[in-house]
Amino acid sequence: MKRKVSPAAHAGILLLVSLLFASLLAVAASAPAPLTPQGVIDGHYIVVLRPDVHDPGAVARDLARQHGFEAGFVYAHALKGFSAALSPRSAEALRRNPLVDFIEADQMVRIMSQSVPTGIRRVFAMDNPGLGIDGVDDWRVDADVAVLDTGIDATHPDLHVVTSVDCSGGSPWVGSCKSGGDDGNGHGTHVAGTIAAIDNGIGVVGVAPGARLWSVKVLRNDGSGYMSWIIAGIDWVTARADTIRVANMSLGCECTSQALDQAISNSVKAGVSYAVSAGNSAKDAESFSPARHPDVITVSALADFDGLPGGEGASTCRQDTDDTLANFSNFGRLIDIAAPGVCILSTWPGAAYRTLSGTSMAAPHAAGAAAILVASGIANPEQVRAELTQAGNLDWVDTSGDGYHEPLLDVGDGNLFAPAMVAGTAAQPGEAVASVTIHSPANGASFLVGDHILFKGEADDGEGVDLSSSLRWTSSIDGEIDTGASFTAQLTAGEHTITAQIEEPAASASVVITVSEAGTGALLVESISYQTSGGRNSDRHLTVTVAIADADGHPAGGVSVEVVVANTTTGASWQGTSTTDSNGNASFSINNHPAGCYETKIVTLNGEDPGAYEDPGYCK
């Protein structure tokens, strides 16, 4: 199914990363935001030693003394080697050293953003009797899953996090994997919930309910990180491969890395199955890492809005067509499986819940399914991948045009997906279990400020006694709203996690809704324009202006716009963020821009995926 890629075919090739970002400073909307070169990290390298080196730490120290450089991470499990800040002379000397297999420049990598979420229903987890998803934390999937991401909020009541480790250093060449690593972004916590949110009657439930989560922070809170950090996380997981049998990496770059390829291959050989996101560029995944790696489970994103086959679901949080390939998803014959990745509700830091879209949201569905297979006794990563693809169904429309209809994840077969379970925290069988159900508002619903929203629910003590009148309703933004079985209320703007609960016996339920100011909501890219000024000939300055409008077509001011501008002639690229002015325009500048043709990609609008936009481009 996957095309094998020889490491030798791309050894030494360094491609500019086109989707990855360093920390950016906000700039005033009145002035164009400067764009800076991105991708390869100048002066920092990953040094891979020969496989027969016995003690990579000792070799790293000896080489550092000989050539006067500072070593960082030492890799001993997924590969033999280290990261280091090197001068050109030191780099060349190491290339000639007989103990060194190869060296490569470090690169930037970035993230690819209890009702039962639509994704859980769409992969038929509810149909699997072995999972027993019923809102009661009586049993949990007996598996360990590492999440290599921005960290996980270990205090979230819907997640069972057993260990947190931080492999994201303060600079490219300083750092080691240390205990801790809070999720200041939210991405990793969201991924974790889709994998393994506990079936406990609150918030959401994951594909592998209650599986043990290992938080491996390899990205900063802005969602970016260095390739050397990613490899350090893989090395940390590989050292614990006897326990951690599944890992999720919802991250990547349009790049190649021989060191990353080697680390993943060795980790898979040690017994770890990796689920990775295909990427969100609507391109062939063959140019993206780690999606292109032949040993991982590469996951594309399905647009599904109702948790059901048939293509009849109406769009909710973003415009797309139900039961088709998400319009942002990468595609191609390297894809192993598709999974829901549009408008996915999952856990969020601060005991909250949020809806996000992306192949980052699709991959953890596959990671949860892999955890179920591992808990079912299927240990070999290649067999895990084969069983996932063979069990998938084709009951969806592949709109990619790549000639390959990948299977859609399906865990409904209770004979194949039959995991060993461990006891949860709920009441023992035979004891009464209280329940709360929210009938209104619907999960994922949207309202305007000033709307009178109907809140309606019911509660039961598990023995037939109606406790609906005792319900207490709260909002994550507005606090306590009201009490009782039904009422109407107006809420302030924002994304609200609405919780209804009873205290004795204790039970609760939650939904997430969005309240917007009139005239706001979806943001649209109206146009991208180019203008040159100053300088002479090839030294003229280039200003790129992005016009943003709201759903009603009015200029949208105060919108944070993140872009990558690429010179398709030379291969150079620049990055930047700016904020739209009152006319809805955000501007970016490249001084003394080189001749060639330019294209602009809108990466995020207010931190969210903006969807596809066809840039007319500019040629000088």
Q: Reply yes or no on whether the pLDDT at 539 is more than 90.
A: no
Structure tokens at 44: 């920092």
Model confidence at 485, pLDDT cuts 50, 70, 90, reads very high
pLDDT of residue 37: 38
pLDDT of residue 428: 52
Strand blocks (E) in 167-264: 178-179, 212-217, 224-226, 246-249, 251-252
Pick the CATH number of 524-619 from 3.40.190.10, 3.90.230.10, 2.60.40.10, 1.10.150.120: 2.60.40.10
| Element containing residue 618 per DSSP (H, E) | strand 618-619
4 pLDDT tier (thresholds 50, 70, 90)? very low
Please say if the pLDDT value at position 18 is more than 50. Answer: no
- Provide the pLDDT confidence category of residue 147 given band limits of 50, 70 and 90: very high
pLDDT at 366 over 90: yes
Q: pLDDT for 587-601, tens place per residue?
A: 888 887 778 888 898
Average pLDDT over residues 85-101: 92
Residue numbers annotated as active site: 149, 187, 360
The pLDDT, as a whole number, for residue 36 is 37
Is residue 32 pLDDT above 70, yes or no?
no
Higher pLDDT, 351 or 494: 351
> With 80 as the cut, is the pLDDT of residue 413 above it?
yes
Residue 23 pLDDT exceeds 70:
no
Could you tell me the CA-to-CA distances from 8 to 13, 39, 351, 394, 525 in Å, in that order? 10, 22, 47, 35, 41
In this predicted structure, the answer to whether residue 29 has a pLDDT above a threshold of 70 is no
pLDDT at position 175: 61
pTM of the entire structure?
0.64
Averaged pLDDT, 442-460: 83
Model confidence pLDDT, tens digit, residues 253-270: 999 999 999 999 999 999
Q: How confident is the model at residue 20 (pLDDT cuts 50, 70, 90)?
A: very low
Burial 522-531 (b: 16+ CB within 10 A, else e): bbbbbebebe
Chain segment 50-72, per-residue pLDDT in tens:
999 999 999 999 999 999 888 88
Residue of higher predicted confidence among 319 and 442:
319
What pLDDT was estimated at residue 9?
A: 33
Fold of 120-422: Rossmann fold (3.40.50)
pLDDT at 580 over 80: yes
**Please, what sign has the CA dihedral across residues 361, 365, 366, 371?**
positive
Q: Find out whether 158 and 203 touch, Cβ atoms under 8 Å.
A: yes
Confidence bin at 521 (pLDDT 50/70/90): low
How large is the average pLDDT for residues 30-57? 73
* Residues 609, 330: Cα–Cα separation, whole Å: 14
Residue with the bigger pLDDT between 119 and 587: it is 587
> Residues of the chain with pLDDT > 70: what percent?
87
When the pLDDT of each residue in the chain is averaged and rounded to a whole number, the result is: 84
Do 120-422 and 524-619 share a fold?
A: no
Q: Is the pLDDT of residue 432 over 70?
A: no
What are the backbone dihedrals phi and psi of residue 195, each rounded to the nearest 5 degrees, phi first? Answer: -70, -50
The pLDDT of residue 510:
77
> For the chain, what percent of residues have pLDDT higher than 90?
50
Q: Is the pLDDT of residue 520 over 90?
A: no
Q: What is the mean pLDDT of residues 297-303?
A: 97
Residue 517 pLDDT > 80:
no
Where is average pLDDT lowest: 25-39, 219-233, 500-514? 25-39
Checking if the pLDDT of 333 tops 70, the result is yes
Give me the mean pLDDT over the 335-351 stretch: 95
Question: What is the band of 507 on the pLDDT scale with cuts at 50, 70, 90?
Answer: confident
Tell me, which fold does domain 435-516 have in CATH? Immunoglobulin-like (2.60.40)
| Residues in contact with 339: Cβ distance below 8 Å, sequence separation at least 6, in sequence order | 119, 123, 299, 300, 301, 302, 362, 363, 365, 366, 408, 409
CA 320 vs CA 152, 305, 327, 357, 552: distances in Å: 29, 9, 7, 11, 18
Spatial separation of the C-alpha atoms in residues 207 and 210, rounded to whole Å = 9
On the question of pLDDT at 197 being above 80, the answer is yes
Query: Alpha helix (H) ranges present in 335-491?
Result: 359-375, 381-391
Domain boundaries, the chain: 120-422, 435-516, 524-619
